[in-house]
Amino acid sequence: MQFHLNGFRAGDPELLPPAAGREAGEGPKTLPEQADVLIVGCGPTGLALACQLSGFPDIETCIVERKDGPLELGQADGIACRSMEMFNAFGFAERVLKEAYWVNELTFWKPKDDNTREIVRSSSVRDTEEGLSEFPHVILNQARVHEFFLDTMRKSPTRLTPHYSWQIASVDIDQEAAKDEEAYPVTVTLERPDGHGEPETRQVRARYVVGCDGARSKVRQEIGLSLKGDSINQAWGVMDVLALTDFPDMRKKSVINSSEGSIVLIPREGGYLVRIYVEMGKLKENERISARKIVLEDIIGAAQRIFSPYALNVKEVAWWSIYEIGQRLCPHFDNIGDGQTGLPRVFIAGDACHTHSPKAGQGMNVSMQDAFNLGWKLAAVLRGQCAPELLHSYSTERQSIAHELISFDRKWATLLSMPVKSENDPDGEGVEASEIEKYFVQHGHYTAGTATVYSPSAITGEPEHQPLAKGFRIGARFHSAPVIRLADARPVQLGHTVEADGRWRLFVFAGMNDSGEPGSPVAALCDFLTSSPTSPIVRYTPKDADVDSVIDVRAIFQRHFRELDPMDMPGLLLPQKGKYGLRDYQKVFVTDQSGGRDIYEMRGIDREKGCVAIIRPDQHVAHILPVDAHDALSAFFDGFMINKSGQKATKKAMDLAK
Amino acid sequence: MQFHLNGFRAGDPELLPPAAGREAGEGPKTLPEQADVLIVGCGPTGLALACQLSGFPDIETCIVERKDGPLELGQADGIACRSMEMFNAFGFAERVLKEAYWVNELTFWKPKDDNTREIVRSSSVRDTEEGLSEFPHVILNQARVHEFFLDTMRKSPTRLTPHYSWQIASVDIDQEAAKDEEAYPVTVTLERPDGHGEPETRQVRARYVVGCDGARSKVRQEIGLSLKGDSINQAWGVMDVLALTDFPDMRKKSVINSSEGSIVLIPREGGYLVRIYVEMGKLKENERISARKIVLEDIIGAAQRIFSPYALNVKEVAWWSIYEIGQRLCPHFDNIGDGQTGLPRVFIAGDACHTHSPKAGQGMNVSMQDAFNLGWKLAAVLRGQCAPELLHSYSTERQSIAHELISFDRKWATLLSMPVKSENDPDGEGVEASEIEKYFVQHGHYTAGTATVYSPSAITGEPEHQPLAKGFRIGARFHSAPVIRLADARPVQLGHTVEADGRWRLFVFAGMNDSGEPGSPVAALCDFLTSSPTSPIVRYTPKDADVDSVIDVRAIFQRHFRELDPMDMPGLLLPQKGKYGLRDYQKVFVTDQSGGRDIYEMRGIDREKGCVAIIRPDQHVAHILPVDAHDALSAFFDGFMINKSGQKATKKAMDLAK
């Protein structure tokens, strides 16, 4: 954490200085008449987006929610490694780590060979592959995650808080006005939900609207889209319970395939609570689950049969539900359909775009990444850093991720709902227990959220120089590794410098003999970035802003920290900032050898030549370039950024793989 | 963290269920007429004590402070590793880790040989020895530490908050009433400080009073004690500044000995702020520092001369002060003087007991450990677990620590105030630069706070069985190490199970071939503890309380977690607790081999035989015993605990090395 740059301030450093008009505390209590971005829905998707936007004092964000207050009891609970990395960028990962259950081990259970009415453990595996992320896979009540987002928003410069008890009546886009970048072409009519007294409606005009309003999204309906897909006609029950059992893996994530059906058991935070997903049988063609009239006792009964020979004595049920499995996807995530032209003004994200079964723990995670992808793009356009064509890339990039999600989930849900083949009858119907295990282990990267790779576009480079850093796959998220900060010799994770602040990062990995001395490749790059008229920093940094406010440059050297002097570094790596021109000492790092392997080895960085890694504001690797590829670096940023005189990037470059 | 034991509760798990009468939130707004413990002063000492006591719903604690509200700008800032371990027991270490500056490296500077008016770096050393603690040495504004204590108190069952704007007028002990354990023999008269309108006084009757009211303690004065000691007649200035400099170690802790005087430079949290202690010259015999009329410009000027040839351009001064070095100590820390009889009713702690120079960063740390030592003892006596004779041990144990502090500080402060010997004139006056470095490095354990060792007494055993676990020195703090929790395969620090909850811990380290199976030494110990009439758990656990509420037993096995089944463990290691009788799965651990050395190797535990480590509520090792030493284990607890029928321990055993 860095603070006190513009003078000492007593108190909580996470309570940021307020934006103009927010000195008195929270944001406006009444709905505004207009907003730059109107977010509909306070689930994890809406809150992730609102949290991202709340950090920009120059953006007016408004978030509305139909319910009367924050969620108290959440449905989602699985938090993938990749989401933890994002939480860290938002500044609250340590709170989640403290409260959550950590998923370390996964066990598989199958029917006993000699008594198929009883289950036996078939195998135990590590849940998350070693080194996949610096964060574990954890489980925590969604309501707590909401609270952390809300808390971060409350402490942001805009002191953003949601407007509760408002639902969407209509969303209208003035197509003529939409052509004017500065206009507020979307008119959203809001009304009080039933049971809130006299009818009351309000209108908010917005430059952009984002529907994070769930599977039954009203925003999606208003822009004429719907979810397409099917159901596999399988009913499941789910319950959060406090229970007494002699099942030995009660505190490990367990997948149980018995002759009586399947269970996915997920231990919860606090040491006692567990979530149990229970297969409740096949539905007939066109049968709705509601017709089954399944009650809690049915779920408990089914769970007890599946657990046999182990007892399950349920003492308290904190929450339960039933659902049928289906995979549905919306063909577009914004209001611009195939073959249509124009710039998107209304977006949907999260469950409004894709719904699927909950058992692989993907729902909340993929949805928050939708928001993380969209948030910085909206901010960059609204702040005049990028042309609005950038916004097309949201639907393009996240559509392909949603497709992968749907196909992963269809296979996983089908496997879990199939009978397990008896070992005595290898030709019989069903799936082999080992096949389920294999599928899960093979998809470990996928369920951890680290397998997402965006395709080449104006904001994601071609893999021409990928061999310079094989472990930083272009399009994938930047995989952090330990380094030592030069100025104070502190061991840190390099990836943790990428905060959710809308900035781009250049990590300059120095070649073997480069110590940043005058004339070295790193120094030459810094000189170029500092003073060339074609430098993206010179071109795209506003006149009175700190030098790192748009593109944040940091360097890593292959030296021991006692061998380098911070004062010998190029000025760009020891920049003077803020009202006093104080030096920022946190831009330079050296390799950390303490784990045996340093970042060059862990991430396959070319020791001889080094490289430059360009990192997007959502932590994805945008490009890998040689340290001396100054022109290519400029050309990359020129492809989507707008220079200070307001000149747009060329339309060609902005086509963004649409 | 463990929660939901007695049913699911939505919201922040750190907001504990309120004690009776505290359901509405904060504690009483007006001063109570009586209290079990009245704490005077809201510095780190008072707050550490209040925070400890706030966790007991059955203890009425009252804390008063002369100032009008919480501190905003603190003087103290150094947080030793040992204090971080204690903060972790209070549940807020992660917040300190996030905000603080981490002291990783220490550099020493001396005059240049060929130009003694300029300084040159003489050496760099690691600040904290590898493996000394699982926590780093950090720097954070005292005001933030206060806030974390206050926040923990607010969330405690008693919702404890301080009463501000009250100062002590008098403290009177009714010596007759003091003989009655149940009485409230101490009458404290409080008054509003000047400037608070009409004079107003109030009386609070208390069973115990603790003066944490600083170097000029009124409580100390009221019990007729005073600080004894002397001054070394040396004036120092201190300032927290935002400054621009070309000094290369501005973000490392640095000790500078120049021909113009000394500086201790301590980087602060946030990346920009630094604290600079500056030597301001010798005072004459009996000269008071106030006579010097030193102003801020003098301190800055002296610093600039010492820093030469480096520039120091001060942009903002957040806080500054001047002080003279002295070491003073109070001969008793309670109201029972040498040769006097009776039980102590009034205590002093922290700066009220000992004052010294601030530069070794010991003040706040030693003071908080005073409170941590006293807190559990007061709680144990007030809750009827231990005889009040236990309270004698506070002054005994902490006096010897304070003596060590004073003598360490006298040497350190003297070294820093001496001129540095010129290398060209080895016979000249002064100290060699290398001597200063050597002294600091030699005392690394001491300044980290991990060198505190309590002498044998009723609560600290004789070292007869110390060879069974050489790394858990009896009397020293329990040195944590990594282990794996059996039930969920999670890597954890064993020491982090020792929370600040007043409970004793028994860590049972199993011998090589012991898996806890029936008949094994671990199982035999568990059987003894569960059912023998001489077992301390049977004897001292209240009838309706959970089995681990007084003595918390945990075991560590030399196995891989996949080799053991939690359900095969002795019942004591899988206890059923709370209103539902749910199983607590967090009592059993196995060794963690991932770092190459497991806890047996790291702490010198006898692999063949194992051992039992008895840990005090303040995390100090009380005793090391063989696993089969059932009688010795009983005898140890019988020495100071009171059994359920109220029978006191023998007077002899309670004599506590007084």
Question: Residue A298 to residues A281, A305, A416, B43: CA-CA distances in angstroms?
Answer: 11, 11, 19, 57
Q: In this structure, is residue A454 part of a structural domain?
A: no
Tell me the whole-structure pTM to 2 decimals: 0.95
Separation CA A327–CA A376 (nearest Å): 28
For residue B319, give the CATH number of its domain: 3.30.9.10
Residue A121 has pLDDT above 90, yes or no: yes
**pLDDT > 90 in chain B, percent:** 75
Tokens of A612: 């430059």
Residue A546 identity (one-letter amino acid): D
- CA torsion sign for A599, A601, A605, A608 is positive
Per-residue pLDDT tens digits for A253-273: 999 999 999 999 999 999 999
Q: How far is CA B87 from the centre of its chain?
A: 8
- Identify whether the C-beta of residue A30 lies closer than 8 Å to the C-beta of residue A203: no
What are the beta bridge partners of residue A312? A245
Separation CA B105–CA A490 (nearest Å): 8
- Identify whether the C-beta of residue A385 lies closer than 8 Å to the C-beta of residue A459: no
- Identify whether the C-beta of residue A479 lies closer than 8 Å to the C-beta of residue A471: yes
Question: Residue A10 to residues A16, A157, A529, B87, B269: CA-CA distances in angstroms?
Answer: 11, 16, 36, 21, 12
Q: In this structure, is residue B200 part of a structural domain?
A: yes
- Identify whether the C-beta of residue A327 lies closer than 8 Å to the C-beta of residue A414: no
Residue B652 has pLDDT above 50, yes or no: no
Per-residue pLDDT tens digits for A1-44: 889 888 888 888 888 888 888 877 766 678 999 999 999 999 99
Question: Residues A373, A493: one domain?
Answer: no
Residue A290 has pLDDT above 80, yes or no: no
Token pair 């902490």 is at which residue?
A: B398
Question: Residues B572, B439: one domain?
Answer: no
- Asked if B315 lies within 8 A of A582 by C-beta distance, the reply is yes
- Identify whether the C-beta of residue A367 lies closer than 8 Å to the C-beta of residue A333: no
Q: Which stretch of A198-212, A230-244, A604-618, B251-265 has the lowest confidence by average pLDDT?
A: A230-244
- Identify whether the C-beta of residue A243 lies closer than 8 Å to the C-beta of residue A312: yes
Separation CA B281–CA A143 (nearest Å): 59
Instruction: State residue A162's pLDDT score.
Output: 97
Question: Residues B351, B471: one domain?
Answer: no
Which range of residues forms the domain containing residue A437? 101-138+230-325+418-446
Residue A431 has pLDDT above 80, yes or no: yes
Tokens of B212: 């944490």
- Asked if B73 lies within 8 A of A10 by C-beta distance, the reply is yes
Residue A473 has pLDDT above 80, yes or no: yes
For residue B169, give the CATH number of its domain: 3.50.50.60
Question: Residues A78, A108: one domain?
Answer: no
Question: Residue A613 to residues A24, A494, A505: CA-CA distances in angstroms?
Answer: 41, 12, 8
Burial of B124 (0-12, 13-18, 19+ CB in 10 A): middle
Separation CA B64–CA B211 (nearest Å): 10
Average the pLDDT over A545-555 and give the result. 97
Instruction: State residue A658's pLDDT score.
Output: 40
Residue A88 has pLDDT above 70, yes or no: yes
Residue A416's closest CA among A343, A325, A341?
A325
Average the pLDDT over A187-201 and give the result. 93
pLDDT band at A464 (very low <50, low <70, confident <90, very high): very high
Residue partners of A156: CB distance under 8 A and separation at least 6: A16, A51, A54, A55
Question: Residues B281, B236: one domain?
Answer: yes
Residue B39's closest CA among B181, B129, B158?
B158
Instruction: State residue A652's pLDDT score.
Output: 38
- Asked if B267 lies within 8 A of A240 by C-beta distance, the reply is no
Instruction: State residue A643's pLDDT score.
Output: 73
Instruction: State residue A5's pLDDT score.
Output: 87
Separation CA B110–CA B175 (nearest Å): 58
Residue B247's closest CA among B304, B316, B318?
B304
Residue B338 has pLDDT above 90, yes or no: no
Question: Residues B87, B155: one domain?
Answer: yes
Q: In this structure, is residue A407 part of a structural domain?
A: no
Tell me which long-range contacts B406-411 makes (C-beta under 8 A, separation of at least 24). B406/B229, B406/B327, B406/B328, B406/B329, B406/B354, B406/B356, B408/B360, B408/B362, B408/B443, B408/B446, B409/B327, B409/B356, B409/B357, B409/B360, B409/B362, B410/B232, B410/B327, B410/B356, B411/B439
- In degrees and rounded to multiples of 5, residue A390 shows phi and psi of -55, -30
Residue B594 has pLDDT above 60, yes or no: yes
Residue partners of B169: CB distance under 8 A and separation at least 6: B189, B190, B191, B201
* Residues of chain B neighbouring A4 (CB-CB closer than 8 A): 242, 268-273, 318
Residue B392 has pLDDT above 80, yes or no: yes
Q: In this structure, is residue B511 part of a structural domain?
A: yes
Question: Residues B541, B633: one domain?
Answer: yes
- Asked if B272 lies within 8 A of A72 by C-beta distance, the reply is no
For residue B535, give the CATH number of its domain: 3.40.30.20
Instruction: State residue A424's pLDDT score.
Output: 67
Tokens of A206: 């917005």
**Which one of B121, B242, B573 makes the best mutation probe of the A interface by having the most chain A beta carbons within 10 Å?**
B242
Question: Residue B462 to residues B479, B553, B652: CA-CA distances in angstroms?
Answer: 18, 21, 16
Instruction: State residue B8's pLDDT score.
Output: 86
Helix or strand (DSSP H, E) at B148: helix B142-154
Instruction: State residue B417's pLDDT score.
Output: 77
Q: In this structure, is residue B645 part of a structural domain?
A: yes
Question: Residues B543, B478: one domain?
Answer: yes
Question: Residues A156, A210: one domain?
Answer: yes
- Identify whether the C-beta of residue B168 lies closer than 8 Å to the C-beta of residue B213: yes
DSSP label at residue B488: T
Question: Residues B303, B369: one domain?
Answer: no
Instruction: State residue A319's pLDDT score.
Output: 93
- Asked if B316 lies within 8 A of A7 by C-beta distance, the reply is yes
Counting every residue, how long is chain A?
Answer: 658
Per-residue pLDDT tens digits for B152-185: 999 999 999 999 999 999 999 999 999 888 899 9
Counting every residue, how long is chain B?
Answer: 658
Nearest beta carbon to residue B562 from set A124, A240, A273: A124
Residue partners of A262: CB distance under 8 A and separation at least 6: A255, A256, A278, A279, A306, A416, A417
Instruction: State residue B27's pLDDT score.
Output: 64
Q: What does the buried/exposed string (b/e) look like for B36-58 if buried means 16 or more CB atoms within 10 Å of the residue's CB?
A: bbbbbbbbbbbbbbbbbbbbbbe
- Helix runs in B155-295, H state only: 218-222
Q: In this structure, is residue B80 part of a structural domain?
A: yes
* Residues of chain B neighbouring A155 (CB-CB closer than 8 A): none
A142-154 vs A81-90: helix axis angle to the nearest 10? Answer: 20
In B127-258 the beta strands, taken as DSSP E runs, fall at 137-139, 163-164, 167-173, 186-191, 201-211, 228-245, 253-258
Instruction: State residue B637's pLDDT score.
Output: 97
Query: How many C-beta atoms lie closer than 10 Å to residue B342's C-beta?
Result: 12
Tokens of B567: 């359900």
* Residues of chain B neighbouring A318 (CB-CB closer than 8 A): 4, 8
Count of structural domains, chain A = 3
Burial of A479 (0-12, 13-18, 19+ CB in 10 A): buried
Residue A359 has pLDDT above 80, yes or no: no
* Residues of chain B neighbouring A8 (CB-CB closer than 8 A): 240, 242, 273, 316, 318-319
Residue A421 has pLDDT above 90, yes or no: no
Question: Residues A283, A151: one domain?
Answer: no
Nearest beta carbon to residue B104 from set A73, A318, A489: A489
Count of CB contacts below 8 A, A vs B? 176
**Which one of B5, B87, B147, B251 makes the best mutation probe of the A interface by having the most chain A beta carbons within 10 Å?**
B251
**Dihedral-angle region of residue A509 (phi above 0 means left; psi in -120 to 50 means alpha; beta otherwise):** beta
- Asked if A567 lies within 8 A of B252 by C-beta distance, the reply is no
Q: How far is B358 from chain A (nearest CA, A)?
A: 21
Q: In this structure, is residue A13 part of a structural domain?
A: no
Q: In this structure, is residue A183 part of a structural domain?
A: yes
The residue in chain A having the minimum alpha-carbon distance to the alpha carbon of residue B561 is: A105
Separation CA A326–CA B482 (nearest Å): 44
Question: Residues B221, B127: one domain?
Answer: no
Residue A651 has pLDDT above 50, yes or no: no
Nearest beta carbon to residue A315 from set B251, B487, B582: B582
Average the pLDDT over B542-558 and give the result. 96
Per-residue pLDDT tens digits for B430-456: 888 788 888 888 888 888 889 999 999
